[in-house]
Amino acid sequence: MLEAGRRRTVGIVVGGVALSLVTAGAPTVAASSPPAPRTEPLPLERLFDNTAVSDDDRPSGADFDGSGNSLSTQDLSAAGWTPGRTLAIDGARLTWPRTAAGEPGGGPDNVRADGQAVRLRGRGDALSFLVAGTGAAADVRGTGTVHYRDGSTSSYTLTAPDWRTGPLSTKAVALPHVNSPDGQRAEKARLYAVAVPVVRGREISSVVLPDDPGTGADLHVFAAAVRTPAGGWTGSWSASTSSYAAVGPWTDRTLRLVVHTSAGGPAVRVRLANTFAAGPVRIGSASVAVQAAGAAADGPPRRLSFNGRPGTVIPAGAEALGDPLPFAVPAGTNLLVSIHLPGTVTAAPVHSRAYQRSYVSAPGSGDRTGDSGAGLYTGTITNWPFLTGVDTVGGAGSVVTLGDSITDGDKSTVDGNRRWPDELARRLSAQSDVPRYGVLNHGISANRVVTDRYPGDGVSTDIGGVSAQHRLDRDVLAQTGARTVVVFEGVNDVLRGTSAEEVIAGLRSIADRARARGLRVVGATIVPCEGWNGCTPEADARRTAINAFIRDNGGVYDAVLDFDAVVRDPERPQRMLPAYDSGDHLHPGDAGLRAMAESIDLTRLVPRSG
């Protein structure tokens, strides 16, 4: 907090992973004669004016919030956030400040936003900031300006949740302590990664931070970067992290994960994530192969690398993107992605319900990523730990399906790849009227639009994930080659009593934010559920009201898929047609999922640019 009348110079830094920003739409582009930055733009580290990190033995060395409190350098190191570490988060590469508490040259490590001009260059679809608010015990918000090399500008709104009271479900990382003049407190400190849209295709020359919000609050920026889309790559498979769950424990064992591709291509790369974790995880090595049967590969697995090395360490809340590997990825085929874990892993970020069997090597079997045979893969699992994406080079880009258990594949045939996104991928691959997009399944069983099921921190048995709004940036906007998003959510909200108005507001927010990033947004109506426990007449009335909004949405969606009309019983529209019902009256079976995918007019998935 600043004394009255004190002037300050601000700077920026980056890193982080969650979401706390709601934008009202695409960036607002200024007319002619845009205002110039008030000062000459400087690199972020030249603008730092606040010290947030202290050594546990000398907590007085920092004052993050104006009351002598600070972050622990030991906690940050334990999370893998060491000085100068580049963190890959939601498609951006962010660098934690190089200054380190208690080390020679240590000093300011963040800037309090007050209209400073930051030298930041590049082309992309978003700016990513690592931020936190102090002094308000609530969100701190301000409006800044992006300057482009052609002389135009656009505005953005940056929101920083409070570092001690903000939501854990959207944090980049949570630390277990707060350092204070009176000693260390066992209290979680939070840092947040927030992305804001920019004008796609225009080269950024500088960014002006928001003005001082006043009222005793400060918006602190630790890092900033231009998020550049992965040109030339298409997402072929992906899955959302739904929780941080107890596993194994696994010590010196290899996971062999089975995933089903959509788009094919001549090269591959994988994405591993340590979402929701409190500490780093070491990956010893990894490989990829086409599945023959079970855990057996159809030929010798190919070794993957990370920045030229066979393995990597993924900090808490971050991800690792593998190097490109020449490898023929067939469309619509099962791959084996093998990951050696040399240490002991007792909990992991997982997609909880894969509806696909994967494999674990025998205890103490070591690195089996190079094995073609299945002999040492003696265990099975039905979730996907760590692995969140498989990309192929080339292709037309990807359609992302954001949904709940019906999209996840609940009640579809296990190992059969009969989820409706799988069926859609087969249709796209078999035709030539529209681009052959990859299809990325980001359904999470029990997921909601409005409410978090998983609290976003700590080991949990809940498999429902954070809300669709809170995971949108990670699971849709940052996905490789994303061109279109299909939003098919809401039934779990209405079954648990959330009002139609709240769900509609959430769906509007999702659509606005996706469109601001240049995506085509397609809404899907909620299917009937009579006969399912909790599907009362009141719940069905809420569902019907949401569907009316989706069908006649006033331009919120670019197109609509009426899945309700496809699977409902014409004689009793509040229930599913028996031929499509899996038997539980909520989830369609294989026939219903196929009918949903076959009902889609593929041209509705195509952005105006093709």
Residue 76 DSSP class:
H
Rama region for 121: left / alpha / beta (φ>0; ψ in -120 to 50; rest): beta
Is it the case that residue 31 has pLDDT exceeding 80? no
Q: Answer yes or no: do 586 and 506 share one domain.
A: yes
Question: What amino acid occupies position 549?
Answer: F
Distance CA 18, CA 472 (A): 10
Q: Answer yes or no: do 371 and 439 share one domain.
A: no
Q: Please check whether residue 305 is in contact with residue 311, taking contact to mean a CB–CB distance below 8 angstroms.
A: no
Q: Please check whether residue 272 is in contact with residue 339, taking contact to mean a CB–CB distance below 8 angstroms.
A: yes
Q: Answer yes or no: do 403 and 421 share one domain.
A: yes
Give pLDDT tens digits for 441-464: 999 999 999 999 999 999 999 999
For 607, phi then psi, to 5°, come to: -60, 160
Q: How confident is the model at residue 345 (pLDDT cuts 50, 70, 90)?
A: very high
Mean pLDDT score, 367-382: 98
Q: According to the model, what pLDDT value does residue 32 have?
A: 40
Q: According to the model, what pLDDT value does residue 2 have?
A: 30
Q: How confident is the model at residue 38 (pLDDT cuts 50, 70, 90)?
A: low
Q: According to the model, what pLDDT value does residue 554 have?
A: 86
Q: How confident is the model at residue 608 (pLDDT cuts 50, 70, 90)?
A: confident
Q: According to the model, what pLDDT value does residue 26 have?
A: 62
Q: Answer yes or no: do 420 and 339 share one domain.
A: no
DSSP H helical segments within 486-556, as ranges? 491-495, 500-516, 537-551
Q: According to the model, what pLDDT value does residue 174 have?
A: 98
- Residue 19 within a domain: no
Give pLDDT tens digits for 380-401: 999 999 999 999 999 999 999 9
Q: Answer yes or no: do 403 and 517 share one domain.
A: yes
Mean pLDDT score, 498-519: 97
Is it the case that residue 288 has pLDDT exceeding 60? yes
Query: For residue 564, what is the domain's CATH number?
Result: 3.40.50.1110
Q: Answer yes or no: do 601 and 505 share one domain.
A: yes
Is it the case that residue 13 has pLDDT exceeding 90? no
Give pLDDT tens digits for 122-178: 999 999 999 999 998 889 999 999 999 999 999 999 999 999 999 999 999 999 999
Rama region for 90: left / alpha / beta (φ>0; ψ in -120 to 50; rest): left
**Residue 221, domain extent:** 28-227
Domain end (from 179, 202, 227):
227
Q: According to the model, what pLDDT value does residue 213 have?
A: 85
Give pLDDT tens digits for 400-432: 999 999 999 999 999 999 999 999 999 999 999
Is it the case that residue 24 has pLDDT exceeding 90? no
Distance CA 513, CA 506 (A): 11
Distance CA 220, CA 166 (A): 14
- Residue 17 within a domain: no
- Residue 23 within a domain: no
Residue 290 DSSP class:
E
pTM, 2 dp: 0.92
Mean pLDDT score, 268-294: 98
Q: According to the model, what pLDDT value does residue 549 have?
A: 97
Q: According to the model, what pLDDT value does residue 8 have?
A: 30
- Residue 56 within a domain: yes
Distance CA 324, CA 496 (A): 44
Mean pLDDT, all residues of the chain: 93
DSSP string for residues in 404-436: SHHHHTTTSPTTS--SHHHHHHHHHHT--SS--
Domain end (from 174, 201, 227):
227
Domain end (from 227, 251, 267):
227
Q: Answer yes or no: do 388 and 407 share one domain.
A: no
Is it the case that residue 274 has pLDDT exceeding 60? yes
Q: Please check whether residue 175 is in contact with residue 89, taking contact to mean a CB–CB distance below 8 angstroms.
A: no
- Residue 449 within a domain: yes
Give me Rg for the CA atoms of the chain: 24
Mean pLDDT score, 273-281: 97
Q: Please check whether residue 244 is in contact with residue 460, taking contact to mean a CB–CB distance below 8 angstroms.
A: yes
More reliable by pLDDT, 86 or 10: 86
Q: According to the model, what pLDDT value does residue 214 have?
A: 82
Is it the case that residue 18 has pLDDT exceeding 90? no
Question: What amino acid occupies position 416?
Answer: G
Q: How confident is the model at residue 101 (pLDDT cuts 50, 70, 90)?
A: low
Q: According to the model, what pLDDT value does residue 39 have?
A: 78
Q: How confident is the model at residue 9 (pLDDT cuts 50, 70, 90)?
A: very low
Mean pLDDT score, 336-343: 98
Give pLDDT tens digits for 546-586: 999 999 988 999 999 999 999 999 999 999 999 999 999 99
Is it the case that residue 20 has pLDDT exceeding 90? no
Is it the case that residue 483 has pLDDT exceeding 90? yes
Is it the case that residue 599 has pLDDT exceeding 90? yes
- Residue 432 within a domain: yes
Q: According to the model, what pLDDT value does residue 527 have?
A: 98
Q: Answer yes or no: do 450 and 565 share one domain.
A: yes
- Residue 2 within a domain: no
Long-range contacts, stretch 565-568, CB < 8 angstroms, 24+ apart: 565/525, 566/595, 566/596, 566/599, 567/527, 567/528, 567/592, 567/595, 567/596, 568/527, 568/528
Tally the domains of the chain: 3
Q: Answer yes or no: do 152 and 51 share one domain.
A: yes
Q: Answer yes or no: do 247 and 127 share one domain.
A: no
- Residue 126 within a domain: yes
Q: Answer yes or no: do 281 and 419 share one domain.
A: no
Distance CA 207, CA 116 (A): 8
Percentage of the chain modeled with pLDDT above 90: 89
Q: Answer yes or no: do 206 and 252 share one domain.
A: no
Q: According to the model, what pLDDT value does residue 100 have?
A: 64
Percentage of the chain modeled with pLDDT above 70: 92
Distance CA 111, CA 51 (A): 9
Q: According to the model, what pLDDT value does residue 194 have?
A: 97
